[in-house]
């Protein structure tokens, strides 16, 4: 008797692949069929050039570099699982400019992108990641490639051909929607120092719907925004190989209700790339790299996001953060933005780093930025178990804001565990999502901290109707909804 492996079967069926109009409802153990999503025996490969839908409740394998091209929409129903093929180099899903993804799960039936490896053997970098490329504005000119692409110059469907995200002009562009989606163990590096992220949003516009998303155990950044103006809310990042939230290149979007938790520096899949030596909670930049103006950190449009109600919890130990990391909020290279109503805890190096004169200029070059005029402000943030409010030294010029004038409270008596309803004393292979309840404990510093309950000036204009002022700090309202419950996971396979 001859037994075909899944890969050999997929390769055989690929010879018969054609572009049809709809996806198959194949049983993964039934007769192999071919469909427009390039599905054969529940393996997705090649490029998707016509709109199609996966089948709810099925498990699919993503094999190689799959691109949803201009004019096509990939629909993924609630409860669907997609596993990145472990044996195929950096298997990834790209939504190209003009293409769309429609992936909306529910709290009871999230959509899961994850490793093909069994529990206990999963590692950061087991597969590539989810990349959405829109038609929004960035502040770099020329042909700017999505990081990690163009390792294959053949241009053939399903290969890692060049993907550009520069040149767009529509910050209201619509790339579809993601809601109640998890991306786990992603971040494989197709080339040296070019890791893919769990979620990459490159020049994605505000017409795209993004909410209730989790990154778990990714090798590079959890959520990275390159330019554009995508808005997102209710984001969770557990264990990142680099930064939990990264914004740059003229990003003008709005983010509200963010949770980040880091317990240690991650150990990646062999030969998949390397975790960063400087993981941060938030790391924001202006323009950096090719295509910037002569004074790169003053290249417009400036990066000016609005980020509200964040809870960023670090390792509490410098060795676990890496030699250069351990900073809750890194602002550098001419970035602006408004960062309000947050909690920053257990970052061993510093709570905040404000680097470069161009960055300080966004704040009006004063220690208490005027919300009526400034493009950079940090207001109403609680710092716990973070010995230094601001980073003292680095290779770049450092600046500080006045704690009292900006309502930046460094509580030297509270512990991180005392802030929340549930927080694990230690983290190991037995720790699960149930160990975390980010609701402020009654009477804790998080429950009593003063908030910025009214937005004024440029902050109010920037926030618009997308970000709302709250009478509390952090990602969870005291006594309110546990919005992360039921659809997020936590696992330590190492």
Q: Are strands 39-40 and 245-248 parallel, antiparallel or unpaired?
A: unpaired
Strand order through the sheet with 65-68: 65-68, 92-95, 129-133, 199-202, 223-226, 245-248, 280-284, 327-331, 350-355, 398-399
pLDDT in tens, 35-86: 568 898 999 999 999 999 999 999 999 999 999 999 999 999 999 999 999 9
DSSP string, 202-216: ES--TTSEEEEEEEE
- Is residue 494 assigned to a domain? no
- Is residue 266 assigned to a domain? yes
Measure CA of the first residue to CA of the last residue in the chain; give whole Å.
39
Asked if 449 and 473 touch (Cβ cutoff 8 Å), the reply is yes
- Is residue 147 assigned to a domain? yes
Asked if 455 and 471 touch (Cβ cutoff 8 Å), the reply is no
- Is residue 74 assigned to a domain? yes
Residues for the chain: how many in total? 494
- Is residue 209 assigned to a domain? yes
Element (H, E) at 461: helix 457-463
357 vs 296: CA distance, rounded Å: 12
- Is residue 226 assigned to a domain? yes
The vertex-425 CA angle with 414 and 330, nearest 5°, equals 60
DSSP string, 382-447: EEES-S-SB----SS-EE---TTTTTEEEESS--HHHHEEE--SS--TT--GGG-EEEEPTTSHHH
Please give the residue range of the domain that contains residue 99.
6-276
- Is residue 161 assigned to a domain? yes
3-state secondary structure of 13: helix
Question: Tens-digit pLDDT profile for the chain (494 aa)?
Answer: 334 444 444 444 343 333 333 333 344 433 333 456 889 899 999 999 999 999 999 999 999 999 999 999 999 999 999 999 999 989 999 999 999 999 999 999 999 999 999 988 898 889 999 999 999 999 999 999 999 999 998 989 999 999 999 999 999 999 999 999 999 999 988 887 788 999 999 999 999 999 999 999 999 899 999 999 999 999 999 999 899 999 999 999 999 999 999 987 777 766 766 676 677 999 999 998 899 999 999 999 999 999 999 999 998 876 666 555 689 999 999 999 999 999 999 999 999 999 999 999 999 999 999 999 999 999 999 999 999 999 987 788 999 999 999 999 999 999 999 999 999 988 988 999 999 999 999 999 999 999 999 999 999 999 999 999 999 999 999 999 999 999 999 998 76
pLDDT in tens, 116-135: 999 888 988 899 999 999 99
How many domains does one find in the chain? 1
- Is residue 375 assigned to a domain? no
- Specify burial of residue 441 (Cβ count, 10 A radius: 0-12, 13-18, 19+): middle
């Amino acid at each position: 008797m001859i037994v075909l492996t899944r890969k050999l079967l997929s390769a055989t069926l690929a010879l018969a692949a054609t572009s049809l109009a709809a996806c198959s409802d194949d049983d993964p153990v039934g007769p192999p069929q071919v469909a427009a999503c390039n599905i054969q025996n529940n393996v997705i490969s090649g490029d998707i050039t016509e709109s199609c839908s996966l089948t709810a409740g099925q498990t699919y394998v993503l094999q190689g570099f799959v691109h949803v091209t201009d004019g096509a929409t990939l629909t993924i129903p609630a409860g669907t699982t997609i596993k990145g093929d472990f044996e195929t180099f950096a298997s990834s899903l790209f939504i190209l400019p003009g293409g769309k993804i429609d992936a909306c799960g529910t709290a009871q039936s999230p959509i899961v992108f994850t490793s093909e490896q069994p529990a206990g053997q999963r590692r950061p970098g087991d597969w590539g990641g989810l990349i959405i490329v829109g038609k929004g504005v960035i502040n770099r000119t020329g042909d700017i490639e999505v990081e990690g692409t163009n390792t294959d110059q053949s241009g053939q469907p399903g290969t890692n051909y060049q993907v550009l995200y520069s040149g767009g002009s529509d910050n209201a562009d619509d790339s579809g929607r993601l809601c109640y989606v998890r991306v786990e163990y992603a971040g494989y590096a197709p080339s040296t120092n070019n890791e893919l992220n769990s979620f990459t949003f490159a020049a994605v516009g505000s017409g795209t719907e993004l909410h209730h998303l989790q990154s778990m155990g990714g090798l590079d950044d959890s959520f990275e925004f390159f330019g554009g103006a995508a808005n997102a809310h209710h984001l969770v990042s557990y264990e990142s190989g680099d930064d939990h939230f990264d914004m740059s290149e003229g990003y003008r979007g709005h983010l509200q209700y963010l949770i980040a938790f880091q317990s240690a520096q991650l150990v990646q899949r062999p030969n998949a790339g390397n975790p960063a030596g400087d993981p941060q909670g938030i790391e924001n930049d202006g323009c950096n790299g090719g295509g910037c103006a002569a004074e790169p950190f003053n290249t417009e449009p400036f990066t000016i996001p609005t980020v509200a109600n964040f809870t960023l919890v670090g390792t509490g130990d410098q060795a676990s953060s890496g030699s250069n990391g351990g900073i809750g909020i890194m602002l550098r290279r001419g970035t602006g933005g408004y960062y309000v109503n947050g909690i920053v805890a257990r970052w061993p190096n510093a709570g905040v780093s404000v680097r470069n004169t161009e960055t300080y200029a966004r704040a009006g070059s004063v220690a208490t930025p005027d919300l009526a005029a400034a493009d950079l402000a940090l207001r109403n943030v609680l710092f716990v178990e973070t010995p230094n409010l601001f980073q003292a030294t680095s290779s770049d010029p450092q600046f500080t804001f006045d704690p009292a004038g900006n309502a930046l409270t460094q509580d030297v008596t509270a512990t991180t565990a005392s802030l929340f309803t549930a927080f694990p004393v230690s983290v190991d292979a037995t720790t699960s999502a149930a160990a975390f309840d980010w609701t402020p404990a009654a009477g804790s510093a998080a429950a009593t901290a003063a908030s910025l309950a009214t937005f004024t000036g440029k902050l109010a204009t920037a926030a618009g109707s997308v970000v709302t002022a709250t009478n509390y700090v952090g990602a969870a309202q005291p006594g309110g909804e546990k919005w992360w419950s039921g659809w997020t996971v936590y696992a330590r396979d190492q």
